Amino acid sequence: MPEDVEMNDSQAPPAAAVSDAPAPAQSTLHHLKEIASVIEAGSLSKEVRRISRAVRLTIALRRRLAARDVAAFLAFALPPSSEAFARLSALVPKEDGSEMDVDTAAPTAQVSIKHGLPEIEIYCYLLVVIFLIDNKKYDEAKTCASASIARLKSLNRRTVDVLASRLYSYYSYVHELTNTLAEIRGTLLALHRMATLHHDELGQETLLNLLLRNYLHYNLYDQAEKLRSKAPRFEAHSNQQFCRYLFYLGKIRTIQLEYTDAKESLLQAARKAPTAARGFQIQCNKWAIIVRLLLGEIPERTVFMQKGMKAALTPYFELTNAVRVGDLELFRSVADKFSSTFSADRTRNLIVRLRHNVIRTGLRNISISYSKISLADIAKKLRLDSENPVADAESIVAKAIRDGAIDATIDHANGCMVSKETGDVYSTNEPQIAFNSRIAFCLNMHNEGVKALRFPPNSHKEKESAEKRRERLQQEEELAKHMAEEDDDDF
């Protein structure tokens, strides 16, 4: 008996430890089944927000996806005799010698999904495409994405629109990875026409951005502008898609020499972009810096010192310094030093345009420093390397005087430039113009902030119960938790 008592006492602490231990983490398959139940609930109640929530949960889960989890979920969500199950199961690689996760999901969720909702089927296509892209199986991903697009053409359900817009993005992305974007341009145009006829506004803005990206990838700026100008206009539904649209619009306006509109679009895209989209913000800032230089502005030093962007913007910082000084030789050396970077960013042609701005900046510095200077000395200071530098200097000075860049006159008899005295800038309209632009910017930002506010429907008529309030707060917490992962995936 004493021995039995000692054994019970010695086993008591482990029992207590087991009871105090945290519950084991739920399996990936269990999370996928919960997502399927959310999609089913959204489909039956026709709530698009539930479908969006399911997509956010999937993006947060994609790093944990394994082949066995995807295969098990397909067997759970799709009927074994369906064509989709046979096609998708063949694309998922088999893992030998590994057991599937044991799932303890509620039986109600397992039974309710087996009647084959279109939303569940499209979600399975989306899940397989994401898994194949993450595992760098691009040919299989292309096959799966093409099959999903063919299936989407036969559906017209608003609850499918959110899933369809993601599939459109991955469909274009996988073809971009395999350098076959030109092959799907006709398909994207047909899908955009179909989305317009179905009044699928989220699909329209997604497909419009994909088409603009497709055209710009091959430098077809005229076709991109024609499509953009004739596409239907409506209020943006996705902040990420709106940021992309502003970026593409800024690039088109830059090529068309409309630098003021391009600057506004690029800066707005960089400002609206999510914090996690660092690569997108870097691209916006690169183009915005070039556009500001072409406008004759010098970006502030803080633009180049933003967190996480300093290394990527270093070539543009040195380029800006060369333009600011007006040193043509320094400008050439910087352009040659970072030629590979500028070519990769597709800004090399724009940098060629900056040569004239460098010369004009140097000429402005000369006109401020000298009240009278010969054209030969101007050619030497600007380091013009043409056959007749004096004649080139004279034409450059004449054009700068005509454009209002400098306030001077040319003495043709003596071959020199005579600068006029600098007047008081506050006696002109420039301060008023600067204040008006700042006020307009602040008012525009305030109006956009007011438009972005959201309020629950009938909040002034119905009082919210405690249970509904708890449910709403829980959904808001989940939304905030998964927002970063969603933004990271989108960009």
Give the 3-state secondary structure of residue 467.
helix
Q: Answer yes or no: is pLDDT of 100 > 50.
A: no
- Output the pLDDT for position 248: 92
Residues 439/430, Cβ–Cβ less than 8 Å: no
- Output the pLDDT for position 250: 92
CA atoms within 13 A on the CB side of 113: 28
- Output the pLDDT for position 487: 57
Mean pLDDT of 86-100: 68
Most confident by average pLDDT, 62-66, 281-285, 384-388: 281-285
Q: Answer yes or no: is pLDDT of 13 > 60.
A: no
Which of these, 357, 353, 336, 347, lies nearest to 312 by C-alpha position?
Answer: 347
Portion of the chain with pLDDT greater than 90, in percent: 7
Least trusted range by pLDDT, from 39-48, 164-173, 437-446: 39-48
pLDDT band for 253, please (50, 70, 90 cuts). very high
pLDDT band for 246, please (50, 70, 90 cuts). very high
Mean pLDDT of 262-279: 88
pLDDT band for 54, please (50, 70, 90 cuts). confident
Which of these, 211, 130, 207, lies nearest to 164 by C-alpha position?
Answer: 207
Portion of the chain with pLDDT greater than 70, in percent: 84
- What is the average pLDDT score of the chain? 79
Q: Residue 157 is encoded by which pair of tokens?
A: 């359900």
Phi, psi for 198 (deg, rounded to 5): -85, 0
Give the 3-state secondary structure of residue 339.
helix
Q: What is the rounded distance in angstroms from the CA atom of residue 280 to the CA atom of residue 275?
A: 10
- Output the pLDDT for position 212: 92
Most confident by average pLDDT, 150-164, 173-187, 420-434, 451-465: 173-187
From the number of C-beta atoms within 10 Å of its C-beta (0-12, 13-18, 19+), residue 197 rates as exposed
More confident residue, 466 or 418: 418
Residues 140/132, Cβ–Cβ less than 8 Å: yes
- Output the pLDDT for position 59: 82
pLDDT in tens, 68-91: 888 888 888 778 787 877 888 888
Q: What is the rounded distance in angstroms from the CA atom of residue 455 to the CA atom of residue 463?
A: 14
pLDDT in tens, 117-160: 888 888 888 888 888 888 888 888 888 888 888 888 888 788 88
- Output the pLDDT for position 164: 87
Least trusted range by pLDDT, from 111-115, 313-317, 321-325: 111-115
pLDDT in tens, 353-366: 888 888 888 777 77
pLDDT in tens, 178-194: 888 888 888 889 888 98
pLDDT band for 65, please (50, 70, 90 cuts). confident
* H or E segment and range at residue 419: strand 416-419
pLDDT band for 289, please (50, 70, 90 cuts). very high
In one letter, which amino acid is 383? Answer: R
Residues forming a β-bridge with 106: none
